[in-house]
Amino acid sequence: MLRLALAAALTLTACAGPRPDIPRTAAVTPPAGWRTPATGIAPIDARWWTAFGDPVLTDLVTRALAANPDIFTAAARVEEARAGLRLARAQRTPTLSAGAPGTAGQSVSPFGTPSDAFGAQPLLQASYDLDLFGRLRQANRAAAAQLLASEGARDTVRLAVASTVASSYIGLRALDLRLAVARQTLAARAEGLRIARRRAETGYTSNLELHQAEAEYRATEQLVPQAELAVARSENAIGVLLGANPGPIPRGLPLDRLAAPPIPAGLPADLLRRRPDLFQAEQALVAADRTLDSARAAMMPNVALTGSAGIVLSTALADPIGVFSLGGSILSPLFDGGRLRAQADVAAARRDQAAYAYQRAALTAFREVDDALAGVRRSGEQAVALAGQRDALAAALRTASNRYRAGYSGYLDQLDAQRGLLTAELTLIQARADRLTAYVALYQAFGGGWRREDVKNPSP
């Protein structure tokens, strides 16, 4: 149902064929409440990460959004696009220039007496492109769309940084739990090794059980430094996301106490319109379409108005002389070797690329939402099954240990139960982490989550 609703909600502007028919405005438009007059697109600040109920996670994401280098880079690209828009607007305004060329020479009086003469001609010139065929107007619109696309790219980076920090923190808490399980298991293996050594020394069992217990202890011992290394690497990766040097990361709630956010029974498909990457692809398509119109308009005649005014000052003249001129020019390309036609073809090809990129962005949005929903559901089912397996193996280990101490069974039965329990515990930790990570992916797939007023009847 959700896939059908999503497919019906977004109308893809790209279609099959060598030249897709592109409308003047793209079909996918964020809701009016998502935009702001100042920037055109609201930043991702829904604070969806607070739904996990961990203040430390909230603080980490907040710090990352304030200091991540990738966000600064994306913000600089927005400023570049804003400057490009100012440049495009300046092309449509009249240009005004001034100059004062000077001359020096000799003049001859009526009596034949030469004398030095100095002169200057202050001049003010103005020109204006009428832009009858919309070349500059379309370029201005393309720059405006490019600015909105850059803002969408910035918000895409912000959303990705927040999601990566949340996923990395969940992974870090899972590694902490794996390390704790490894240490607990190592302590249990040490106790088993002590019992096996005592039984071997008293001659109650052979050295085979002693060597088996020692091998199992060493196998578990190597899990501790392995988990510690993974923890250190995860902390360093989170430090980079925070724009800080590698170092320890504070901890909050353990993995099993992180809240699983409730998912509404029916998520509205309009939430996909809040995805900043879709908005970016839409505006890139609009910019490419306007650039194509500008390239086609460049093949038409260019009409410009020019004017100048000034005075002539010279020692050879009794009074200054005023000069002015007013005129126009029409410049039309007659032969350029196909340059303008090639530029228009390049713009058309880029417009087609933007159309297909927009189509791919929409299809990717469908897939990511469906993957995230399936991940939440299936990883939850897997965690429930693994929890049951873990409980059963724990009971089997207790029985095997009691029988081994009483002499009713061999060490191999206890060893198998220990191995099975360790594997089940580590797999259960990973399944719980995967489920929480799937929630993060779902929030990211919907462009930053949803508000309570967006949906009804939320269900866990």
Indicate the SS3 state at residue 85: helix
How buried is 326 (Cβ within 10 angstroms: 0-12 exposed, 13-18 middle, 19+ buried)? exposed
Looking at residue 10, what is its pLDDT?
39
φ and ψ of 197, to 5 deg: -65, -40
pTM: predicted TM-score of the whole model, two decimal places: 0.78
Q: How far is CA 248 from CA 209, 234, 240, 245, in A?
A: 41, 10, 12, 10
Q: Are 150 and 323 in contact (CB under 8 A)?
A: no
Indicate the SS3 state at residue 458: strand
Looking at residue 17, what is its pLDDT?
35
Indicate the SS3 state at residue 307: strand
Domains in the chain, please, with CATH?
2-95+137-302+353-459 (1.20.1600.10)
Q: What tokens appear for 398 in the block?
A: 């207790």
Q: What tokens appear for 440 in the block?
A: 């993060």
Strands 102-108 and 302-314: unpaired
The pLDDT tens digits of the residues spanning 73-102 come to 998 989 988 888 888 877 777 777 766 665
Q: Average pLDDT over the chain, rounded to whole?
A: 77
For the chain, how many residues are written? 460
Q: What tokens appear for 443 in the block?
A: 């929030």
Give the whole-angstrom CA distance, residue 308 versus residue 124. 5
Beta bridge partners of 306: 127, 327
Cβ neighbours, 10 Å, residue 198: 12
Place of tokens 């929409």: 362
Q: Are 225 and 421 in contact (CB under 8 A)?
A: no
Cβ neighbours, 10 Å, residue 134: 16
Q: Are 179 and 227 in contact (CB under 8 A)?
A: yes
The pLDDT tens digits of the residues spanning 370-422 come to 888 888 889 989 999 999 999 999 999 888 888 877 777 777 788 888 888 99
The pLDDT tens digits of the residues spanning 96-105 come to 776 666 565 5
How buried is 304 (Cβ within 10 angstroms: 0-12 exposed, 13-18 middle, 19+ buried)? middle
* Residue 400, C-beta contacts closer than 8 angstroms, at least 6 positions apart: 409, 413, 414, 416, 417
Name which of 450, 446, 436, 449 is nearest 172 in CA terms: 436
Most confidently predicted of 11-20, 427-436, 446-455: 427-436
The pLDDT tens digits of the residues spanning 177-223 come to 999 999 999 998 888 888 888 878 787 777 888 888 888 889 889 99
Q: How far is CA 374 from the centre of its chain?
A: 22
Provide, rounded to the nearest whole percent, the portion of the chain with pLDDT above 70. Answer: 70
Least confident of 61-65, 87-91, 110-114, 158-162: 110-114
Name which of 161, 6, 147 is nearest 69 in CA terms: 161
Which stretch of DSSP H or E encloses residue 308? strand 302-314
pLDDT score of 332 more than 80: no
Looking at residue 438, what is its pLDDT?
92
φ and ψ of 126, to 5 deg: -135, 145
Q: Are 234 and 171 in contact (CB under 8 A)?
A: yes
Looking at residue 31, what is its pLDDT?
37
Indicate the SS3 state at residue 348: helix
Beta bridge partners of 103: 119
Q: Are 6 and 275 in contact (CB under 8 A)?
A: no
